[in-house]
Amino acid sequence: MVSLTLDAHQDESRRAQREADRWLIAGTILMGTLVLGPVGLPVFCRGVYLLRRAQQVGLSVRPMMVTLIGYVVILDAAINSIGWGLDVFANHALITRTIFTAWGNLMDGGYFWHYNELWIGGAGAPGEKAWIIVCIVVVFPMRIAAAIGLLQMKRWGHQWTIVTCWFGVISWMGYILNMTMYADVRYAGVALPVIGWWLYNIFYITPFLAIPYLHTVNREIFSD
Amino acid sequence: MIENASKEGSASSADLPLGTTPAFARMHKWLKRGLFVCLFGLVIEGALTVPVIAVWYGWPTLSLTEICSELMKVRYSDDTLECTQPYPLSGPPFGGAPEAAGQQTAKDQWGIQPVPQYPHVGFRELVRIHNERQAANKP
């Protein structure tokens, strides 16, 4: 009898988790496109609601924090990759030349100063292109892969999310230090220098929020 | 002591989410709030970026191509420049020359830390600049 009840509980938990994940994944894919974000957000929130309800009725579903970290890491990496992918591979498209250079003129001269003069095109501020390429080719794909493992509650997912969140810290620190070294290029003649950049980019600090959780959560909840 | 410590944790482990110990319950709660703020922030600003920037720089009075050209004139201090649209697909990073290759007109104070000398562009100022140039060019 007991084993039947346990089985039923497990089946019900799995069903609830899968249903919530369908909404969460669809929402994240839509939000990851950037322009469809307002459509994706309610879809994602519906997934959060379903997950929360399952937790409240006592089902064994993934903790909300693990869910949030996993999906926000994927979203953060996807949005960044779209922007920087355009700068590398579509730097002569009208939307890139217009919106990127306008954004650069507004907040970060690295995307305005001598834009599309470098042989590879796109942003030409000292060091910028190296950070862009290492992030979209190495950091973000690894962060997305690790976050998928985390969402599956795998031990390697937990470990690699920790590793790649530390990548994120290095990227943040290195990027900001590089900007600071060439602060004139980045901020001279810009409409909203420094504070504008921080207000816009502060929402990308997810690694700093994920690391304390990942190091203090009981790691026995992740399985091989 | 132990009782006090568990009271300070303000929740018994039964009420806590899976994987959260009483000692870290408060920290995890605040981290969760922070993550929600980041999620909403990323989505809202991400969706607003293109329309707000387009309007700030003069759309719909100016087309995107006109904004592109106006910004290029500011960037290289050269009123004769226009954005080539569409740009040949063989352009960067696929081997062709970039649009601004070989330009000589940008005003920079060159040195180990270059300082750009282009003028500051204000809210929808490109519209005024564009109109003034068009008026001056009329016969």
Count of alpha carbons within 13 angstroms of residue A58, beta-carbon side: 4
Q: CA-to-CA distance for A107 and A186, rounded, in angstroms?
A: 8
How many CB pairs below 8 Å do chains A and B form together? 205
Q: Is the peptide bond before B86 cis (omega within 30 degrees of 0)?
A: yes
**B50–A112 C-beta distance less than 8 A:** no
Residues B6-31, mean pLDDT to the nearest whole number: 77
Structure tokens at A104: 């650069």
A106 touches B: beta carbon within 8 Å = yes
Per-residue pLDDT, A1: 42
Nearest CA in chain B to A74: B39
Calculate what percentage of chain B has a pLDDT beyond 70.
90
Q: How many other β-carbons are positioned within 10 Å of the β-carbon of residue A108?
A: 26
Contacts of A224 (CB under 8 A, 6+ apart): A154, A155
Which has the higher per-residue pLDDT, A35 or B28?
B28
As for the ipTM of the complex, it is 0.89
Residue B117: which residues within 8 A CB-CB, separation 6 or more? Answer: A188, A189, B77, B107, B108, B109
| Residue-level pLDDT at B8 | 44
Task: Report the C-alpha gap between A153 and B45 in whole angstroms.
Answer: 30
The pLDDT, as a whole number, for residue A4 is 57
Distance, in Å, from the CA atom of A18 to the CA atom of A20, rounded to the nearest integer, reads 5
Q: How far is CA A210 from the centre of its chain?
A: 11
- Residue B41's pLDDT is what? 93
The DSSP 8-state label assigned to residue B15 in this structure reads G
Measured over the CA atoms of residue B105, residue B109, residue B114 and residue B118, the dihedral's sign is negative
CA–CA dist A44, A50 (Å, integer)? 10
The structure tokens listed for A13 are 């938990």
Q: What SS3 class is residue A216?
A: helix
pLDDT tens per residue across span A164-173: 999 999 999 9
Residues in A 114-173 with any Cβ partner in B closer than 8 A: 114-122
Minimum Cα–Cα distance from A29: chain B residue: B43
Name the DSSP letter for residue B24: G
Per-residue pLDDT at B89:
85
* Arithmetic mean of pLDDT, A182-190: 93
The alpha-carbon radius of gyration of chain A (Å, integer) is 20
* Mean pLDDT in residue range A11-21: 92
Across chain A, mean pLDDT equals 93
> Bridge-partner residues for B116, per DSSP?
B108
How many Cα atoms are found within 13 Å in the side-chain-facing hemisphere of A201?
A: 15
Sorted by sequence, the CB contacts under 8 Å of residue A3 that are 6+ apart come out as none
What residues of chain B, 71 to 100, have a C-beta less than 8 Å from chain A?
A: 71-72, 74-75, 83, 85-87, 91-93, 98-100
Maximum separation of any 2 CA atoms in chain A, in Å: 74
